[in-house]
Amino acid sequence: MIKKTKALIVIGLMATLYSCNNTSEKISAEKTEDKPEISQVDIDRLGITNPDSLSAASVRALDWPDVGNEWFIEFSELQPLKGDLAYEEGVVRRDPSALLKHDGKYYVWYTKSVGPTQGFGGDIENDKVFPWDRCDIWYATSEDGWTWEEQGIAVARGEKGEYDDRSVFTVEIMEDKGKYYLSYQTIQSPYNVRTKNQVGLAWADSPNGPWTKSKDPILSPADNGIWKGEEQNRFAVEKKGDFDSHKVHDPCIIPYNGKYYLYYKGEQMGEEITFGGRQIRHGVAIADNPKGPYVKSAYNPISNSGHEICVWKHNGGIASLITTDGPEKNTIQWAPDGVNFGIKSVIKGAPHAIGLNRELNTDESEEPGAILGWGLSHIYNNSDYQSIMRFSSKRRTSHVAKGEKAE
């Protein structure tokens, strides 16, 4: 009986193997029948061994955009600044804006606060829950981009009860038709994990101010998610809502095609962790006037990934550096219409919260990464304090061994 059972098991295994082999051959045959057109150039470029047997990886590669290395850059190590923007114990300086040059000086705006972070475990009304909590927006100037002189507050928190009474932070600058505009995030007290932030705007006739603040936010999160229960748990939801149902962050306004494109980062209620990490996506809202009203695009979200917004004009479209979160992180993307982005290169080592030097983006026909030549960023000196640093980058065109001459 035992021998008979063993024999039946062997026969069953052989039948299974035969079936698997037949299935494998059948799948290969189907792939061969449906294989995409492939040229000898494709075969050489992708190093394909047999064009009649294409793996899923090779099929994907055939769909890659046909671009060279003009979009491929590498970043250097961050370098410390001098003067008032050098690291200062007990002070947070972070999220630098783009750089503007006015009357021979560079200008930068940034988030500033003092004191350590207590988090959400204590007195929410009086503690500092994040480094960017209880902040004002400050600015500084420099003649060389290295040594900076702090000039003071540009935009302060609002009065108690106003939409920006808790913190104003993560600022971006836009110069347009002789006017200056600061867009930034706002928080109203109390600040807990389910708080929904908004975007504010201030404008002035000079980069030195004085600044007039918008009475109301110019952008708010989508209002179509539903929290589950009353507990302060930002992952507990009955309905997640749109990609920006929880927060709208990192605003940046670009004058484009006769309108004003407000790019921003969206955070969703009940945000999950996926194969790319956090679910972070970008959106855009468009207005006819820099002060709004801004209407969110029907095509949102316009990215599958990203964190801080870093966008610039190039070749009639908009380029975007996508970092930190999501399955398409660490890429540079480009949209010919400012909305429909495609991947142009994969990069590594991009700094946090880049403040672009927009003076480097003067010629629409220049290399797409020229604006990333140098600018400002920030670094976490420790969990409580951050400081602003300087970055630089260069286009990478070859890969050679030590002593070898590049072609």
**φ and ψ at residue 341, rounded to 5 degrees:** -90, 140
In degrees, rounded to 5, the angle at the alpha carbon of residue 240 between the alpha carbons of residues 239 and 245 is: 125
The pLDDT of residue 12: 45
- Tens of pLDDT, residue by residue over 223-270, are 999 999 999 999 999 999 999 999 999 999 999 999 999 999 999 999
Contact criterion met (CB below 8 Å) for 335 and 320: yes
Q: Could you tell me the pTM of the whole model?
A: 0.89
Residue type, 30: E
- Residue 15: per-residue pLDDT: 42
Q: What residues contact residue 183 under an 8 Å CB cut-off, 6+ apart?
A: 171, 172, 174, 199, 200, 201, 218, 251, 252, 253, 262
DSSP per-residue codes, 120-168: SSS-TTTS--STTSS-EEEEEEESSSSEEEEEEEEE----TTSTTSSEE
pLDDT of 123 reads 87
Q: Which residues contact 65 (CB under 8 A, 6 or more apart)?
A: 342, 343, 344
CB environment 22-47: b (16+ within 10 A), e (fewer): eeeeeeeeeeeeeeeebeeebeeeee
Instruction: Give the total residue count for the chain.
Output: 407
Q: What is the pLDDT of residue 236?
A: 95
Question: Can you list the domains of the chain with their CATH numbers?
Answer: 2-62 (no CATH), 73-395 (2.115.10.20)
pLDDT given for residue 205 in this prediction? 98
DSSP β-bridge partners for residue 167: 187
Query: Are 185 and 249 spatial neighbours (Cβ–Cβ below 8 Å)?
Result: yes
**Among positive and negative, which fits the CA dihedral 376, 377, 381, 384?**
positive
| H or E stretch at 262 | strand 259-267
Residue ranges in the chain modelled with pLDDT below 50: 1-32
Indicate if the alpha-carbon torsion angle 362, 100, 354, 267 is positive or negative: negative
Quote the tokens at residue 149. Answer: 């002189």
